[in-house]
Structure 1
């Protein structure tokens, strides 16, 4: 296999490999509680596209740098100065249709950047600590697994800044958490909710016992290492089929699974996994 291209340079996303085949992506603007400005979310597509096809990556951890936050969401001060929402005199010269077109294109591009996380072929665990507000919810619902520290505080914050959340929360959260009443509660009120409540409704699947980032990243590493030790053919196929089946019937899902596995069962991974169970030896899988 030819060498895979190097990861793209990023200013606001740190990429490390703390364990074999385990990538750790860290949102890196701790002095602003990892609040996002445009150039930050624009780094997501090239990085996650790289990780999606990297043979050296089998599982990904996504966390926030510093002790205070996964992310405080959108940097409202930056957005008010440098976005289609900013009070720019040139905007007032446009009619309604042209203003709407400008805004729609901006929102579409923003949505595509965050959706690039969801489209990544590799499983992603969000290791959440501290504050997870607004855009932090949009990002975390794009991940496959969410775990959090005991002291994490969440909020679907957008109504507090005068808009309906438009980067994915309102579309994805009702599918992640099946209680429509709870989803409308937190989205309409923008109220804070904690780790215990997030676990109770199924938004996160694990909560730490002592609080802080270190514990939740340690658990994320444990999970990612476990997944990275499995067949990459099996893991990536499982994620693909789960995502494809999300909004489709059982019949459609079964049909797609049959077609998918008719190709993927021809890999050496199945034989390797079965033989390891017999020999009681840890299997070794080729890169994918």
Structure 2
């Protein structure tokens, strides 16, 4: 599903350090960065290293002065994401004690406390997608299972192909989903009976089901046209002021988890600064459907 970038497109500064992600400037859309899950032989099942790479990439893009205004997230190969890679022992090493521990001396409480930090680290990696200042569009094809649902719940917009197959699979593996699906999925689509059925049975649901409950906003006419639909959404997002898009995303996320009055106070504080942007005047003066030139967002300062 991933598209090969043109040889004239410069390499993305974040691509080199990653083994299981492919990060590139979009081959035809300025201001759009493509992040591809890149373990096609494993249907992009997420191992521990890939998990950390996701958190690292989304924690930086849009904050390093890269000019990015929108991220397109895709999967290489036959499916978007087959879930967690259960063959990676690093995920479960904390359950049996770390190397060098005298496991016989640890009671259940101590084992639990030592394992909690790993769960928090995994949660934070996916939360980086949600907290990324740049809007994220997920184009989903084929399998989107378990951790794939966790990941796509953090995207701002989701579209899928007709062959997309979804499952909140964790319950069938003997555990409750613990990196975001049970918290985000119902807030995206509602807390109704069907959602609880999906979470409690681990049953598959298809593209039509995902559209009906609002998990995706569109289904492409064919598998091949999925990227065209996603590209069009990315283009329309990236034409807008990056300041306006960043504040809009932040307000939507904040308002989802707070009362209306708290959300109004939050956007008032945000816009008291954002409305001073020259982007406002440029947007009002836009003529002929031509997007104005917006300055890129500055790099975020760090210690």
TM-score (norm 2): 0.87
Structure 2 runs not aligned, ≥5 long: 1-11, 298-303
Deviations 1:27-53 (A, max 9, x none): 000011111110110012221122131
Q: Structure 1 residue 61 and structure 2 residue 68: aligned? A: no
Partner in structure 1 of residue 21 of structure 2: 13
By percentage of residues, which structure has more helix? Answer: 1
Task: Tell me the number of residue pairs that the alignment of Structure 1 and Structure 2 aligns.
Answer: 280
Specify whether residues 87 and 157 from structure 1 end up closer, same or farther in structure 2 by C-alpha distance, changes over 3 A only: farther
Q: Structure 1 residue 150 and structure 2 residue 162: aligned? A: yes
Partner in structure 1 of residue 285 of structure 2: 275
**Distance in structure 2 (CA, Å) of the matches to 1:83 and 1:268:** 52
**SS state at 1:97 partner:** helix
- 1:131 is matched with which residue: 126, 135, 143? 143
**Distance in structure 1 (CA, Å) of the matches to 2:290 and 2:128:** 37
TM-score (norm 1): 0.92
Deviations 1:184-230 (A, max 9, x none): 100100001100000000111111112x2x32222111111111111
Q: Which moved more, 1:169-178 or 1:84-93?
A: 84-93
Q: CA RMSD in A?
A: 2.0
Partner in structure 1 of residue 260 of structure 2: 250
**Distance in structure 1 (CA, Å) of the matches to 2:289 and 2:44:** 45
Partner in structure 2 of residue 209 of structure 1: 221
Native 8 Å contact 2:95 2:111 kept in 1:
no
Partner in structure 2 of residue 27 of structure 1: 37
Specify whether residues 87 and 71 from structure 1 end up closer, same or farther in structure 2 by C-alpha distance, changes over 3 A only: farther
Native 8 Å contact 1:81 1:87 kept in 2:
no
Structure 1 runs not aligned, ≥5 long: none
Native 8 Å contact 1:159 1:165 kept in 2:
yes
**Distance in structure 2 (CA, Å) of the matches to 1:95 and 1:58:** 49
- 2:183 is matched with which residue: 171, 186, 208? 171
Native 8 Å contact 2:153 2:185 kept in 1:
yes
Deviations 1:56-89 (A, max 9, x none): 10000111111x2101001112248863246989
Native 8 Å contact 1:241 1:256 kept in 2:
yes
**SS state at 2:61 partner:** helix
Counterparts of residues 78-93 of structure 1 (less than 5 Å): 78-79=88-89, 83-85=93-95, 91=103, 93=105
Partner in structure 2 of residue 287 of structure 1: 296
Specify whether residues 93 and 208 from structure 1 end up closer, same or farther in structure 2 by C-alpha distance, changes over 3 A only: farther
